[in-house]
Amino acid sequence: MKKTDIIIIGQGPAGLSAAIYTARAGLKTMVLGCDPKVAGDYVIDNYFGFPESVTGKELIQLGCQHAQKFGAELRCEKVLGIHQDQAKGFVVKTDRSEVQARAIILATGVSRVRPGIGNISEFEGKGVSYCVSCDGFFYKKKKVIVLGEGVFAANQALELKNYTARISICTQGKKDNISKEYHDLLEKNQIPVLTEKITTLKGGAFLEKAIFSDGREEDVDGLFLAMGEASSLDFAYSLGVTTRGVFIEADHDQRTNVPGVFAAGDCVGRFLQISVAVGEGAIAGHSAITYLKKTNN
């Protein structure tokens, strides 16, 4: 397993800004993630230093070049999960590899995808969960459905095999985007992939049934949401990071409640602007440098 000093999750303005600081300070820095939403061809005309405007794509390209200038390693890989290891470091699993780091900066924005189930909030904490690492234990030998259409959902379903064999994936009517490699693993573990859409849930004190768009009802004890790609909020749940709604709680130094985990940019829910994300990324990078210097002594 490859080791590095710090992993930054998210190649947007906050993540790249943090990488410039940590790499420049001599820390082995790895940035994971592909083109962020901001990296489009639309024009940005309120960013400091660009009076003639700049496109999001150009700005991200410049940020990548800047971070790489100081030695940051940029990888276009999808992060599937983060866990603390026994040495109080962190293991990050992607769709291609596993990497161990001493510190983490979360900077993936707030891209959580909602599943379109009208009464889902009624069963949150009563059968509906967003974190296999947190809640999988409570579903030993029970029937569960993972909601999602991609590799993130497949990875969550495979992790649930530690607790139960009664697992299926539902793409919620979306196109199946699970890679062949993960499809082979799902088949080997006898985890079927359903393409129907769940429209509503039923139960009393806890979840009991999922109702599909064709009227079919299926008994289910747990529903784990893993739509789209994993977000900062998904990582926060698995690490025990305090959240505020869909945002991560971070102090003025971008530190979370978990030592070694920092957060910056839209995922902390302040003023959702590129300039703010860049500033918070710089603060998170500086705080991570300070943290790693202290823990190295």
Task: Between 232 and 215, name the one with better pLDDT.
Answer: 215
Are 221 and 235 within one domain? no
pLDDT in tens, 95-129: 999 999 999 999 987 665 678 898 988 998 899 98
Burial-class residue 242 by CB neighbours within 10 Å (0-12, 13-18, 19+).
Answer: exposed
User: CA separation (Å) from 106 to 114, 153, 294?
Assistant: 21, 20, 20
Distance CA 135, CA 286 (A): 34
Whether 297 shows a pLDDT value over 70: the answer reads: no
Query: How much is the pLDDT for 231?
Result: 82
CB burial string 169-186: b at 16+ within 10 A, e below? bbbbbbeebbeeebeebb
> In this structure, what token pair is assigned to residue 22?
């940590």
Q: Give the total number of structural domains in the chain.
A: 2
**Mean local confidence (pLDDT), 25-30:** 97
Distance CA 75, CA 285 (A): 18
Are 103 and 15 within one domain? yes
**Mean local confidence (pLDDT), 168-183:** 93
Task: Between 230 and 258, name the one with better pLDDT.
Answer: 258
Are 94 and 171 within one domain? no
Percent of the chain with pLDDT over 70: 97
Are 97 and 236 within one domain? yes
Are 54 and 126 within one domain? no
Confirm if 203 and 123 have CB atoms less than 8 A apart. yes
Are 58 and 29 within one domain? yes
pLDDT in tens, 38-47: 767 768 888 8
Residue 173: which CATH number?
3.50.50.60
Are 143 and 86 within one domain? no
Whether 168 shows a pLDDT value over 70: the answer reads: yes
Q: Which range of residues forms the domain containing residue 52?
A: 2-111+231-295
**Mean local confidence (pLDDT), 9-27:** 96
> E strand or H helix at 245, and its extent?
none
Query: How much is the pLDDT for 47?
Result: 87
Whether 274 shows a pLDDT value over 70: the answer reads: yes
| Domain limit, last residue, from 225, 245, 264 | 225
| β-sheet bridge partners, residue 257 | none
Query: How much is the pLDDT for 256?
Result: 97
- Please give the backbone phi and psi of residue 165, each rounded to the nearest 5 degrees, phi first: -100, -5
Are 159 and 31 within one domain? no
| Domain limit, last residue, from 198, 225, 252 | 225
Confirm if 264 and 284 have CB atoms less than 8 A apart. yes
Of the candidate ranges 23-37, 77-91, 104-118, 140-154, the one whose mean pLDDT is the lowest: 104-118
Q: How confident is the model at residue 131 (pLDDT cuts 50, 70, 90)?
A: confident
**Mean local confidence (pLDDT), 35-58:** 82
Q: What 3-state DSSP class applies to 288?
A: helix
| Domain limit, last residue, from 225, 260, 286 | 225
Are 15 and 95 within one domain? yes
Are 162 and 127 within one domain? yes
Pick from 214, 204, 132, 45: which is nearest to 145 by CA? 132
Distance CA 8, CA 265 (A): 12
Are 214 and 266 within one domain? no
Are 126 and 190 within one domain? yes
- What is the DSSP code string of 57-102? HHHHHHHHHHHHHTT-EEE---EEEEEE-TTS-EEEEESS-EEEEE
**Average pLDDT of the chain to the nearest whole number:** 91
Query: How much is the pLDDT for 154?
Result: 94
Query: How much is the pLDDT for 124?
Result: 86
Distance CA 262, CA 202 (A): 38
pLDDT in tens, 236-266: 888 999 998 778 999 999 999 999 999 999 8
Whether 22 shows a pLDDT value over 60: the answer reads: yes
Task: Between 21 and 35, name the one with better pLDDT.
Answer: 21
53 CA to centre of own chain: 31
